[in-house]
Structure 1
Amino acid sequence: MKKNISFLKKPILIFLMGPTCSGKTKLAIDLSRHFPMEIISVDSGLIYKEINIGTAKPTIKELSQVPHHLINIKDPNEYYSAGEFRRDALKKIKEILEVGKVPVLVGGTMLYFNVLNKGIAVLPSANNEVRNFLLKKTKRFGYKYLHNFLKLVDPDLSFRLHPNDIQRILRGLEVFLLTGRKISELQKSTISNFPYEVIQFSIFFSKKKELKQRIKLRLNHMMELGFENEVRNLFLRKNLNINSPAIRRIGYYQMWSYIEGKITYKDMIEKIMFATYQLAKHQITWLKKWKNLHWIDNFDQNLSINKILDVFHIKNFF
Structure 2
Amino acid sequence: MQNKNPIAIFLMGPTASGKTDLAMRLRRNLPVEIISVDSALIYKDMDIGTAKPSKAELALAPHRLIDIIDPAHSYSAANFRSDALREMAQISAQGKIPLLVGGTMLYYKALAEGISPLPQADEKLRRQIEDKAQRYGWPALHRELSEIDPISAQRINPNDSQRINRALEVFYLSGKSLTELIKQKRETPPYHILQFSIEPQQRSLLHQRIEQRFYTMLELGFQQEVEKLYQRSDLHPDLPSIRCVGYRQMWEYLRGDYSREEMIFRAICATRQLAKRQITWLRGWKAPLCRLDSQKSEEGAQTIEQAVDLAMQNQ
TM normalised by structure 2 equals 0.87
> Could you tell me how far apart the structure 1 residues matched to 2:308 and 2:4 are?
14
* 1:305 equivalenced with 2:307 (yes/no): no
How far has the Cα of 1:124 moved from its partner? 3.7
Pick the aligned partner of 1:39 from 34, 40, 45: 34
* 1:279 equivalenced with 2:274 (yes/no): yes
Provide, for residues 219-247 of structure 1, a one-character-per-residue CA deviation record: whole Å limited to 9, x for no partner: 11111111001111112222222233311
How far has the Cα of 1:117 moved from its partner? 1.3
Alignment-mate amino acid for residue 312 of structure 1: V
Correspondence 1:74-113 to 2 at 5 A = 74-113=69-108
Question: Percent identity between the aligned chains?
Answer: 45
How far has the Cα of 1:33 moved from its partner? 0.8
Contact kept? 1:205, 1:297, Cα under 8 Å:
yes
How far has the Cα of 1:152 moved from its partner? 6.2
Correspondence 1:163-182 to 2 at 5 A = 166-175=161-170
Pick the aligned partner of 1:241 from 236, 242, 248: 236
What is the aligned-residue RMSD (CA, Å)? 2.9
How far has the Cα of 1:190 moved from its partner? 3.3
Task: Determine helix, strand or coil for the equivalent of 1:233.
Answer: helix
- The corresponding residue for 1:19 is 14
- Summarize the Cα distance change of 1:235–1:296 in structure 2 as closer, same or farther, 3 Å threshold: same
> Does 85-94 or 120-129 show the bigger shift?
120-129
> Could you tell me how far apart the structure 2 residues matched to 1:254 and 1:164 are?
17
Task: Determine helix, strand or coil for the equivalent of 1:203.
Answer: strand
> Does 43-52 or 112-121 show the bigger shift?
112-121
Contact kept? 2:156, 2:163, Cα under 8 Å:
no
> Could you tell me how far apart the structure 2 residues matched to 1:156 and 1:278 are?
22
- Summarize the Cα distance change of 1:166–1:313 in structure 2 as closer, same or farther, 3 Å threshold: farther
Contact kept? 2:30, 2:305, Cα under 8 Å:
no
- The corresponding residue for 1:201 is 196
How far has the Cα of 1:141 moved from its partner? 4.8
> Could you tell me how far apart the structure 1 residues matched to 2:191 and 2:310 are?
16
Alignment-mate amino acid for residue 242 of structure 1: P
- The corresponding residue for 1:260 is 255
Pick the aligned partner of 1:137 from 128, 133, 136: 133
Alignment-mate amino acid for residue 190 of structure 1: K
- The corresponding residue for 1:212 is 207
* 1:188 equivalenced with 2:204 (yes/no): no
> Could you tell me how far apart the structure 2 residues matched to 1:165 and 1:93 are?
33
> Could you tell me how far apart the structure 2 residues matched to 1:317 and 1:113 are?
26
Provide, for residues 94-137 of structure 1, a one-character-per-residue CA deviation record: whole Å limited to 9, x for no partner: 11111111110001111111111111111245465576346643
Provide, for residues 130-156 of structure 1, a one-character-per-residue CA deviation record: whole Å limited to 9, x for no partner: 76346643676569x969x78963279
Provide, for residues 4-23 of structure 1, a one-character-per-residue CA deviation record: whole Å limited to 9, x for no partner: x7xx6110010000011111
- Summarize the Cα distance change of 1:22–1:209 in structure 2 as closer, same or farther, 3 Å threshold: same
Task: Determine helix, strand or coil for the equivalent of 1:14.
Answer: strand
Pick the aligned partner of 2:23 from 3, 11, 28: 28
Contact kept? 1:156, 1:184, Cα under 8 Å:
no
Structure 1 runs of 4+ with >6 Å offset: 149-152, 177-181
Gaps of 5+ in 2: none
Provide, for residues 247-301 of structure 1, a one-character-per-residue CA deviation record: whole Å limited to 9, x for no partner: 1211111101111112211111111111111111111111111121111111111
> Could you tell me how far apart the structure 2 residues matched to 1:208 and 1:40 are?
27
> Could you tell me how far apart the structure 2 residues matched to 1:164 and 1:228 are?
27
* 1:224 equivalenced with 2:219 (yes/no): yes
Contact kept? 1:14, 1:104, Cα under 8 Å:
yes
Task: Determine helix, strand or coil for the equivalent of 1:103.
Answer: strand
